A = this chain, B = another copy of it.
Amino acid sequence: MAAANHNHIANDWLPTNRIIMGDCIAAMRELPDGCADLVFADPPYNLQLAQDLHRPEGGKVSAVDDEWDKFSSFAAYDAFTRAWLAEARRILKPDGAIWAIGSYHNVFRMGAAMQDEGFWILNDIVWRKANPMPNFKGTRFTNAHETLIWAGKSEKSRYCFNYHAMKAMNDELQMRSDWLFPICTGGERLKVDGVKAHPTQKPEALLYRVLLACTEPGDLVVDPFFGTGTTGAVAKLLGRRWIGIEREAKYVEVAQARIDGLLPLEGGMTRVSQGKRSEPRVAFGALVEAGYVRPGTRLFASGGKHVAHVRADGSLAMGDKVGSIHQMGAAVQGLPSCNGWTFWHIEAEDGRLEPIDVKRTAWRAGLGAIAA
């Protein structure tokens, strides 16, 4: 199912693919009614940390003690939440939708406010963190997840949901409401002079799934709490238009540089499965989502006799033919079936070809081991 309203005609004057520096409520007021297909919001969590926390070995935990996360009371936080939600809802198209992320500190208040403002909740999604920070004092359960709320602008919204793309990414099983991703670390984590540029940078894999599930190429995604611009980066990668709003100049600078340095995927690579007419896909999509295989990558078989391109949802394309790694392997050989994992090969860093099963093995050793 996809939203009906995807006319991008009268919006050419919009400041798309740009960052607006300023307060998100004021900035959204400058945008016209019904211009956005999707809003993705990662607002302050209002953590209310009371004191320093030390690790067992003596180190100090780097706390989120920024001014932007401080509110004087629940009432103040609620007023702020309702204000930005109201503006976000106004700028959405009638068939638009919102995603908002939070933790137990704020997500219940935020969810209630969303319902009160007229949003219609479609799912709550649990981001299970593969590698959360432990509870150092042994006082509670390890806080190992965050919650995303997906809601339509109204109960009547015919929201966009790329059901078959999600199913293809999940080994032909329906995508569930609990998602497993590592937190943002390593090379993906943006740094300035060796220290993290933002305390709460979200992983691209999370945004990748959200945007692939709930937008189409060309759709406009607005992020009122842009931070270091993960939403913009993934939107650009996937050929979606975006507007980011961010108050702090230092984050704007980092985000702009990050997005400027990105190349979008080529047009055909961002298309995803549309239903029965295109073929079912396999869990190969999980490798794409996790960055083990990049959309657009060329796969080879039979010593280069066959070449296929990887698409964003893990399907393969050869000319106008599209299918799973198994289906396409079978098709080119004229066989009834084929194990795509051993049939298709990918170019390794040293230029040699190796079966894509190698990637699956690597994935299993990393993410997959925790997937159970």
CA distance A149 to B107 in the complex (A): 12
Residue of B nearest to A335 (CB): B58
In the complex, per-residue mask of A92-122: 1 if CB is within 8 Å of any chain B CB, else 0 = 0000000000011101111110111010011
Q: Taking A108-B110, A124-B147 as contacts, is the C-beta distance between A54 and B337 under 8 angstroms?
A: yes
> Which residues from B are CB-within-8-Å of A338?
58
CA distance A112 to B78 in the complex (A): 10
CA distance A177 to B107 in the complex (A): 15
> Which residues from B are CB-within-8-Å of A142?
174-177
Q: Tell me whether A134 is interfacial, beta carbon within 8 Å.
A: yes
Residue of B nearest to A116 (CB): B74
In contact, A145 and B178 (Cβ under 8 angstroms): yes
Of the candidate stretches A21-29, A125-133, A216-224, A225-233, the one touching chain B is: A125-133
In contact, B118 and A109 (Cβ under 8 angstroms): no
CA distance A232 to B328 in the complex (A): 52
> Which residues from B are CB-within-8-Å of A103?
124
> Which residues from B are CB-within-8-Å of A163?
138-139
CA distance A108 to B333 in the complex (A): 42
In contact, A176 and B144 (Cβ under 8 angstroms): yes
In contact, A145 and B112 (Cβ under 8 angstroms): no
Interface residue tally of chain A, by bracket? Answer: 35 or more
Q: Taking A58-B333, A142-B177, A177-B143 as contacts, is the C-beta distance between A108 and B105 under 8 angstroms?
A: no
In contact, A138 and B1 (Cβ under 8 angstroms): yes
Among B74, B132, B166, which residue has its beta carbon within 8 angstroms of that of A176?
B132
Residue of B nearest to A75 (CB): B116
In contact, A166 and B178 (Cβ under 8 angstroms): no
In contact, A145 and B166 (Cβ under 8 angstroms): no
CA distance A203 to B1 in the complex (A): 34
CA distance A132 to B178 in the complex (A): 11
> Which residues from B are CB-within-8-Å of A341?
none
CA distance A48 to B197 in the complex (A): 44
> Which residues from B are CB-within-8-Å of A111?
104, 107-109, 111-112
Among B54, B139, B166, B337, which residue has its beta carbon within 8 angstroms of that of A141?
B166
Q: Tell me whether A155 is interfacial, beta carbon within 8 Å.
A: yes
Chain A positions within 8 Å of B, measured between CB atoms, are: 1, 54, 58, 66-67, 70-71, 74, 103-105, 107-112, 114-116, 118, 121-126, 128, 132, 134-135, 138-145, 147, 149-150, 155, 161, 163-164, 166-167, 174-178, 213, 275, 333, 335-338
Q: Can you list 18 A-B contacts (CB < 8 A)? A: A54-B336, A54-B337, A58-B336, A70-B118, A70-B155, A104-B121, A108-B110, A108-B149, A126-B126, A126-B178, A132-B176, A135-B174, A138-B164, A138-B174, A142-B175, A144-B177, A145-B176, A147-B147
